Structure 1
């Protein structure tokens, strides 16, 4: 994970109006902690905030949760002692994210540390396991890579890429809005990432500026899969979750949803990148929900006709008629993306016009100082009465250990 540090800081200027921006919604419809409260995962290791509508059974999770599936030998297996803690780059309700260095190789990673007690208290065991299960399946140029996962009696650890260019939110906050050619590139890379997830029957469900990182070359990296879910494409899912500004109408209506919700969120994100605010934003969440359901989509005069046409398609309220629902190819063919060579883009042969000013792989200049000023310590968890009752439940996380195949195969 790389520059996800801005999440704990209020936006300035226009963004100061976004009082509730970044709050995540639980299944009961309540708004969860604010950006400041949930700013956990700077970089690739954001934390989940979803409240599950029901607890998933073990057989609904990926079978690779079995340790014997993941390990034939101990080759490549690591513990927290294999990493030097460098800098805090994010914090959240379940724990923190730290920049770390692997002692034997010198490689820089992001270490996401989650407290089991907090996960159990918020009934997030299944979703945390699902996040790891999904991440270990994915290899894509625009999606963060999970390299290792391991655990202690008290905590879970995920070792992910460290992306040093900062959150999209960090840069959007500084610049107000982006020029359209920059939005074209970011949106195109997101389309490729979402299309890949959908091909695996994974719905992402939390696309927003805080969950998108910029690498040192200026390409995007999607992170934080805490709200993602593997679904049956013919059935969808009923869970009411996400971040208010980016929720699709079908989620608000409780009608059940599928991968089309991600295309709605892409439209909302693109509108925000182009104008500085989401299309239906209000400080009052109930008013914002009504606007998402009913208000006319309006554009500033400087938004091109091609962008307006694409956003009209992505922000179609009927998910069966929304652009992308049939196939991502219809989005890729839109005139807004006429300058994109999709094969070259996938290979990262398209050079971004904006590159973050970073000096090294370990650069933290794009991370919010509210995090980096804190000492990097893997603190001891004090066992509460709640935790004591769960001491026999460590099998909740059986199979959490993981080493990426490329690591296991290394000499």
Structure 2
């Protein structure tokens, strides 16, 4: 099928969008609720609990919980810093409970240089705890808001690392569905890591599509917007949106309201700035194919199509995966618990894991088996 005919298929009128639940866009620089630490390989004697961690600072807060910078106070990894994500069960709707369990399950499966690492997971009667890496560089949203836009070499580096992370998820039949600057964290060495896996879907392929309408509207692929069924190809469209935003400081499709934005995604012609290189323009057009069958990265050769694109001609992919290429930006911090790159609105607050109301009886069934210790931690 030609691209033109496919476009017609993807321009059907929108249905009712009044009741859908979407991931919000931040209006000002603020750290993601899920944050991340430098990589450790500790060994502990027993599974941890909330009392195993000392609260140092608050890093972020959302409607469902908080994220703290914590220090492990016992075990052979005592003294190590982590980011502790605390979710209150009673504030989670059924859908959000399932997403929290999904995030835990996916993070428990994955070990990748450009994906945030889960070290522990445990629960109490009223709360869920995820102990994650603490990445001192904050998130890409804050950095992009500060700089306005990035030069092409910087964009190329971030896109290449993100492509490898997405490809790893896709190799496990996982579609990510929430790629945006807020969910991309920077380590102290300047490398990126994807975080926040609550909107992922497992068991997805070109044959086994998923029809959920979720994500952040501006980053949604046409097949997600139109609810025609989507696969991992939707993530490559989102990568194109992120690329455009990093290069220009603007979103490629952004209306005055949700419906107008969705209509633009389905129908609008892409405004291509003439200051972009020919290679950058070519890659954007290849990622912005409205027919997912024609989208770069979704062909029979998968990510190899992206790797071989002229925009990435200077990338040594083996060295990149090994993190042997020097990042274009390295955060500057004064010590290991420095939170300079996080919003002072939160870091100035006294960190407090306050009591919570007990959840409903059904919540206990959803979170059965939630506890986790990473395989390289030897609990006895």
Q: Same fold (TM over 0.5)?
A: yes
- Distance in 1 (CA, whole Å) between partners of 2:110 and 2:22 is 30
Cα 1:42–1:371 shift into 2, 3 Å: farther
Structure 1 vs Structure 2 CA RMSD:
2.0
- Distance in 2 (CA, whole Å) between partners of 1:181 and 1:201 is 30
Cα 1:136–1:27 shift into 2, 3 Å: farther
Cα 1:225–1:317 shift into 2, 3 Å: same
Answer with 228-237 or 273-282: which moved more: 228-237
Give the match for residue 346 of structure 1: 321
TM-score by length of 1: 0.82
Give the match for residue 41 of structure 1: 33
Give the match for residue 226 of structure 1: 198
- How do 1:362-401 and structure 2 match up within 5 A? 362-383=337-358, 387=359, 390-391=360-361, 393-401=363-371
Of the three residues 259, 273, 283, the one matched with 1:286 is: 259
**Residue 91, structure 1, aligned to residue 61, structure 2:** yes
- How do 1:3-14 and structure 2 match up within 5 A? none
What runs of 5+ residues in structure 2 fail to find an aligned partner? 1-16, 38-43
Give the match for residue 9 of structure 2: none
Of the three residues 231, 241, 244, the one matched with 1:258 is: 231
Give the match for residue 312 of structure 1: 285
Shift of 1:274: 0.1
Shift of 1:396: 2.2
- Distance in 2 (CA, whole Å) between partners of 1:273 and 1:32 is 20
TM-score by length of 2: 0.88
Of the three residues 107, 118, 124, the one matched with 1:146 is: 118
Cα 1:27–1:157 shift into 2, 3 Å: farther
SS in 2 for 1:320: helix
Shift of 1:206: 0.2
Cα 1:294–1:282 shift into 2, 3 Å: same
Of the three residues 288, 295, 299, the one matched with 2:268 is: 295
Shift of 1:92: 1.0
**Residue 81, structure 1, aligned to residue 51, structure 2:** yes
| Structure 1 runs of 4+ with >6 Å offset | 36-39
Give the match for residue 307 of structure 2: 332
**Residues 140 and 193 of structure 1 are in contact (CA less than 8 Å); yes or no, is this contact kept in structure 2?**
yes
**Residues 82 and 133 of structure 2 are in contact (CA less than 8 Å); yes or no, is this contact kept in structure 1?**
yes
What runs of 5+ residues in structure 1 fail to find an aligned partner? 1-25, 46-73
Shift of 1:36: 6.4
